A and B are shown apart, each in its own frame.
Chain A
Amino acid sequence: MPKIARYLLWIAVSLLGAFALATIALHRGEQINALWLVVAAVSTYAVGYRFYSSFISAKLLALDPLRATPAERLDNGRDFVPTNKWVVFGHHFAAIAGPGPLVGPVLAAQFGYLPGTLWIIAGAVLGGCVQDFIILLFSVRRDGKSLTEMAKSEISRVGGLVAYVAVLSIIVILLAVTALIVVNALKSSPWGAFTIAMTMPIAVLMGLYLRRIRPGKVLETSLLGFVLVVAAIFGGQWVSQTPSWAAVFTLTAPTLAILIILYGFAASALPVWLLLAPRDYLSTFVKLGTISLLALGIVALRPSLHMPPLTRFADGTGPVFAGKIFPFAFITIACGAISGFHSLISSGTTPKLIRHETETRIVGYGGMLAESLVAIMAMIAASVLQPGVYFAINSPAGIVGQAPEAAATTISSWGFPLAATQMATLAHAVGEQTLFNRTGGAPAFAVGMAQIFSNTLGGEAVMALWYHFAIMFEALFILTILDAGTRVGRFMLQDALGHIWKPLGRTSWYPSIFLTSAVIVAAWGNFLWQGIKDPLGGINSLWPLFGICNQLLATVALCVATTIIVKMACAKTVGAKTPRLSYVFVTLIPLCWLVAVTFTASWHKILDPNPRIGFLTHARQLAAAGGNPRLIFNDRLDAAVTGVLVVMVAMILIESSLECMRVISGSKPAVTKEAPFVMTKLAVEEHA
């Protein structure tokens, strides 16, 4: 394409993006079309990818196409395998896309669609993509080392310890909060509970089919599993309409919590091939299919957003979770904007598959852009709902009242008209007994998705099927995260305990397996139990705690990245291309922003005088009223967990700053722990 045409094209894309952003930001009092959000996001992503990631690649990281990657040098056909960039992209995207980008934006929609959308777009382009891309590249240059190992070798041993604790904490809180989402989605829902229960025998059948009949044919088996799951959704409808069966599958929140805790323990301690691996494949299959379907639905239907751009809850009095836009919108939406968890994937499997350094740009930066687009779709799904309906689903009984009429009156008094009969009709349309107080984000997302799908395909008549398809899809891959996460936590604990007493570190020794599984399950099970017993719905406490943990992990990742960049800039290697020190702003700005957000949010969650926000104020209020000692203990525990994490991250910040200052002042040599340069043979072969 001629140069002038390229300039004109990118000017047009930039203007389109600016116009779309202005449209979503400046429209007041009238509905806008959801496509404006998609256009704003896609245009900004295109400009960000073309220019910002290109700047980072060339000027900051100096990606070298001639440098052999660990996938090439250490190729063993197992962990290290040079793989096509699009294949790695798909693999990486499937690993980073979880329930976070779907649930976070739905919860943040209580502020209106505008704050969340702007944060998703800006946070991804300037923060999340940068983090994923840079950590991926640094891991590639260090033989695929993990974030914890890089923190230890590039900052200090304290850095490594903090990263380890942050990772373990985030896993525990993540498992608790995702389990709570499943409980809230399935309680009193025989249709949903039956469908999810059926995924277990289906997975076992898939496991047997895979192992005995068609070894290794996972795609074919997953397709069969998908057909069976769809049949289970139809079966669920029959169960919900048959009183005797409906009674069996109508489960309370505590019963569901106990079943999920037992499942988590069994999943962690038992071999994976029979149940877990096939479920994992099935969940990935459904996830990728549903996300594609949702994107097509939004583009085909072009729904209008009923949620206003800003609601009155920007003042911090929101019913879904308490707190003002700053900092709470920024910790509520983590995945989709910037998520510390991604740094684990970027320094896990992905760097071992990268064929050329230059491909880290499309995989790291591009993969995160794709996830950000998923978050935009979730925001659209929440915002197509009438605001009254959205708040009825997402508000806990402790705020709006237990009775439908009382809840409808409260929500109407906020300026979002709602009639109890309207909710009854909607609940009937989706095949549920009630949709009031379904906190957690998943049911609201499912209703939004069902509206979009049913308007595209099948009409009102099949809305209940689409709703339960969406619930099945969310619950299925949340349960996959639960079992995989519990196992990962168990292995981490075994690795650490192995330093104290060797047998505890043996991953095949059953006493150690049972002990460490029990510890991990008890840790997240405790938070889950706390969530279901919380009169404010649990999400009010647990989701911000999860967001803080996740963003603190991102802070650790950006600390590691900044320290390495400073060392690279100060290194005096003859002939090597070193970045300017001023380019450190690429990671320093998102790092400063995250420090501001997470530390402010932590301060609020621990000490805020509003009992709906501050854990300690709430504990004091309960103690003064002679409240349940268990709830008081939980509040204090939450405050302690937040406090410990903040102190640890402050330690890594100090360590990282000291290391940078020593390197800049010249009192310490700027030495990075990169693997030595080896000329790639792949590039030579390809260039020949």
Chain B
Amino acid sequence: MKSRLCGADTLVREKLEPRLVKAGLVKAGLAEAKASAILTAIHRSLTVLVEVLREIFDESAYQRFLDRSQLQSSPNAYAIFLKENEQAKSRRPRCC
């Protein structure tokens, strides 16, 4: 996650900022602030996207299980998690 965001940071600094200045859209002094705002927006979007995927794919649920039971991730811990969640998961209807 961190490295992906670093990539985005570099992209904004190296590509976007000079373009904004060159296009006259923002003055040089403002470019950094604009770039920073864009970076924050990208960061927030990526974080939300990753969190959505982690929730949909039960990775967050597994993490919560590990925190709750104070276990380290392992095949055994995952087996217990699956067993605990089997009933709840099986009762969840899938929509048409």
Asked if A and B bind, the verdict is yes
A→B interface (CB under 8 Å)? 77-79, 81, 83-84, 86-91, 94-100, 171, 174, 178, 210-212, 215-219, 222, 271-273, 277, 281, 284-285, 288, 334-335, 339, 341-342, 344-345, 348-349, 480-481, 484-485, 487-488, 491, 507, 546, 550
Is the pair B86, A215 in contact by a Cβ cutoff of 8 Å?
Answer: no
Any A CB within 8 A of the CB of B79: yes
With a CB–CB cut-off of 8 A, which chain B residues contact A288? 56
Q: In the complex, what residue of chain B is closest to A549 when comparing beta carbons? A: B96
The 3 closest A-B pairs by CB, nearest first: A90-B52, A215-B78, A100-B96
Q: How far is the CA of A81 from the CA of B38 in the complex (A)?
A: 31
Is the pair B96, A98 in contact by a Cβ cutoff of 8 Å? yes
Residue in B54, B63, B78, B90 whose beta carbon sits within 8 Å of that of A219 in the complex = B54
Residues of chain B with a CB closer than 8 A to A91's CB: 52, 55-56
Among B48, B57, B75, contact of A86 (Cβ-Cβ < 8 Å): B48
- Determine whether the beta carbon of A215 is less than 8 Å from that of B96: no
Interface string of B51-74 (1 = CB under 8 A from A): 111111111111111011000011
Complex Cα distance, B55 from A550, in Å, reads: 28
In the bound complex, do residue B90 and residue A218 qualify as a contact, i.e. CB atoms below 8 Å apart?
no
A273 and B62 alpha carbons, distance in the complex (Å): 14
- Number of A-B residue pairs, CB cutoff 8 Å, is 128
CB A509 to nearest CB in B, in angstroms, measures: 14
Asked if residues B95 and A96 are in contact (CB atoms below 8 Å), the reply is: yes
9 more A-B contacts (CB under 8 A) besides A277-B89, A288-B56? Answer: A81-B64, A87-B48, A88-B55, A90-B56, A100-B95, A272-B82, A281-B58, A341-B93, A342-B95
**Residue A218 contacts which of B58, B75, B86, B96 (CB distance < 8 angstroms)?**
B58
User: Does chain A have a CB within 8 A of B4?
Assistant: no
Say yes or no for B26: interface residue by CB 8 A criterion. Answer: no
Counting CB contacts under 8 A, is B15 at the interface? no
Q: A210 and B78: CB pair below 8 A?
A: yes
Asked if residues B96 and A178 are in contact (CB atoms below 8 Å), the reply is yes
A-chain residues with CB within 8 Å of residue B65 when the two chains form the complex:
77-78
Instruction: Say yes or no: B75 contacts A272, CB within 8 Å.
Output: no
Contacts of B56 in A (CB 8 A): 90-91, 94, 284, 288
How many whole Å from A230's CB to the nearest CB in chain B? 19
A481 engages B94 (CB within 8 Å): yes
Complex Cα distance A318/B59, Å?
47
Among B58, B78, B84, B94, the one with the most A-chain Cβ atoms within 10 Å of its Cβ is: B94
User: Known contacts A77-B67, A273-B82, A277-B82: does B52 contact A87 (CB below 8 Å)?
Assistant: yes
Which chain B residues border A546 with CB–CB below 8 Å? 96
Q: Are B96 and A174 in contact (CB under 8 A)?
A: yes
Is the pair A98, B92 in contact by a Cβ cutoff of 8 Å? no
B77 at the interface (CB under 8 A from A): yes
- For residue B53, which residue of chain A has the nearest CB? A219
Task: Contact check, A217 vs B86: say whether CB atoms are below 8 A apart.
Answer: no
Q: List 7 A-B contacts (CB under 8 A).
A: A78-B84, A81-B64, A91-B56, A97-B95, A211-B79, A273-B86, A480-B94
Residues of B within 8 A of A95 (CB): 92, 94-95
The prevalent SS among residues of A at the interface is helix
User: Which residues of chain B come closer than 8 Å to A97, judged between CB atoms?
Assistant: 95
Query: Which of A83, A222, A342, A348 is the one whose CB lies under 8 Å from B92?
Result: A348
Q: Provide the bound-state CA to CA distance between A212 and B82, in Å.
A: 13
Give Cα A218–Cα B74 distance, bound, in whole angstroms.
Answer: 14
**A488 with B91, Cβ < 8 A, contacts A77-B67, A100-B96, A334-B96 known:** yes
Query: B90 touching A77 by the CB < 8 A rule?
Result: no
> With the chains together, A178 CA to B92 CA distance in Å?
18
B64 pairs with A335, CB closer than 8 A: no
| B52 and A484 within 8 A (CB) | no
A218 touches B57 (CB 8 A): yes
The answer to whether B93 touches A484 (Cβ under 8 A) is yes
If A95-B94, A215-B74, A491-B91 touch, does A84 touch B51 (CB 8 Å cutoff)? yes
B25 cross-chain contacts in A, Cβ below 8 A: none
User: Using Cβ atoms and an 8 Å threshold, which residues of chain B touch A218?
Assistant: 57-59, 62
Residues of B within 8 Å of A334, CB to CB, are 96
Q: Give, as a whole number of angstroms, the nearest-CB distance from B54 to chain A.
A: 7
The CA-CA distance from A285 to B60 in the complex, in Å, is: 16
B62: nearest residue on chain A (CB-CB)? A216
Whether A83 contacts B55 by the Cβ 8 Å rule is yes
A83, A86, A96, A488, most chain B CB atoms within 10 A: A86
Most buried by A among B58, B84, B88, B91: B91
Distance to closest chain A CB from B90 (angstroms)? 5
B95 touches A86 (CB 8 A): no
Q: Which residue of A lies closest to B59 (CB)?
A: A218
Nearest chain-A residue to B84 (Cβ)?
A: A78
Distance in Å from the Cβ of B50 to the closest Cβ of chain A?
A: 9
Most buried by A among B53, B54, B65: B53
Nearest chain-A residue to B48 (Cβ)? A86
**Cβ–Cβ < 8 Å partners of B91 in chain A:** 487-488, 491
Asked whether B73 lies within 8 Å of A216 as measured between CB atoms, the reply is: yes
Closest to A101 in B: B96
User: Please, how many angstroms separate the alpha-carbon atoms of A491 and B88 in the complex?
Assistant: 11
| B88–chain A nearest beta-carbon distance, Å | 6
Bound complex: CA of A258 vs CA of B78, how far in Å?
34
Contact partner of B90 (CB less than 8 A), chosen from A81, A100, A216, A272, is: A272
B57→A281 contact, CB < 8 A: yes
CB-based contact A171/B93 at 8 Å? yes
Pair B94/A484 contact, Cβ less than 8 Å: yes
Could you say which of B51, B57, B92 contacts A488, with CB atoms under 8 Å apart?
Answer: B92
**Nearest CB in chain A: distance from B4 CB, A:** 13
Contact of B95 among A81, A210, A272, A335 (CB under 8 A): A335
**One of B79, B84, B96 near A550 (C-beta < 8 A):** B96
A345 to B93, CA, bound (A): 7
Nearest to B87 among chain A residues (CB) is A507
Which of A87, A217, A288 has the largest count of B CB atoms less than 10 A from its CB? Answer: A87
| Contact status A284-B86, CB under 8 Å | no
Q: Which B residues are in CB contact (< 8 Å) with A480?
A: 94
